[in-house]
């Protein structure tokens, strides 16, 4: 009985090692490497086989075809400013928005809801892609600080 369990464990270790090696090889070789063997002449006949579902998701968007950011209409979405962390490069800034009952921490390119993305962050505020329509959500007005005292004077 112990011999059978030992052989089963050895078989599982060998199988998991082989699977790990195949995974490493799959990531090691470039995806553009030519096929060899019986699959070398395979040509997909369906357009569904030639396109991945996420191809457009991972492609950088061409922002040059978009209208200038100063001519965008203000957004009609029920958004609230909750916080922001501005960086020197505004594209790397983080904003905290309220959308409905949710609090969302977003960076450039993140999704607020289905069909709604934070397209860009610039000096005038946020540019939101609302189902293909670009809208502006301006930076909030600076509030005067209350209860702050200088410590050096």
Residue 55 lies in a domain: no
Domain limits for position 94: 78-138
Question: Given pLDDT bands bounded at 50, 70 and 90, which one contains residue 88?
Answer: confident
Residue 33 lies in a domain: no
Residue 117 lies in a domain: yes
Total structural domains within the chain: 1
Higher pLDDT pick, 108 / 54: 108
Written as six digits, the tokens of 55 are: 């191809």
Give pLDDT tens digits for 108-153. 888 888 888 989 888 888 899 988 889 998 888 776 766 666 667 5
Written as six digits, the tokens of 21 are: 């090696």
Residue 122 lies in a domain: yes
pLDDT at 11: 92
* Torsion sign over Cα 107, 113, 119, 122: negative
**Taking the CB of residue 118, how many other CB atoms lie within 10 A of it?**
20
Contact criterion met (CB below 8 Å) for 85 and 94: yes
Residue 109 lies in a domain: yes
Residue 98's CATH number: 2.30.30.830
**Stretch 46-63: mean pLDDT, rounded?**
49
**Taking the CB of residue 130, how many other CB atoms lie within 10 A of it?**
16
Higher pLDDT pick, 7 / 91: 7
Residue 121 lies in a domain: yes
């Amino acid at each position: 009985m112990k011999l059978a369990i030992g052989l089963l464990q050895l078989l599982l270790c060998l199988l998991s090692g082989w699977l790990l090696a195949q995974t490493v090889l799959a990531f090691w070789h470039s995806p553009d490497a030519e096929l060899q063997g019986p699959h070398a002449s395979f040509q997909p006949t369906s357009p569904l086989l030639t396109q991945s579902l996420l191809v457009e998701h991972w492609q950088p968007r061409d922002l040059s075809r978009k209208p200038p950011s100063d001519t965008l209409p203000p957004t009609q979405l029920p958004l609230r400013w909750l916080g922001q962390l501005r960086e020197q490069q505004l594209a790397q800034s983080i904003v905290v928005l309220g959308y409905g009952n949710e609090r969302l921490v977003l960076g450039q390119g993140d999704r607020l809801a289905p069909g709604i993305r934070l397209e860009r962050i610039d000096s005038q505020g946020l540019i939101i892609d609302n189902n293909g329509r670009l809208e502006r959500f301006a930076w909030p007005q600076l509030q005067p600080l209350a209860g702050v005292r200088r410590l050096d004077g």
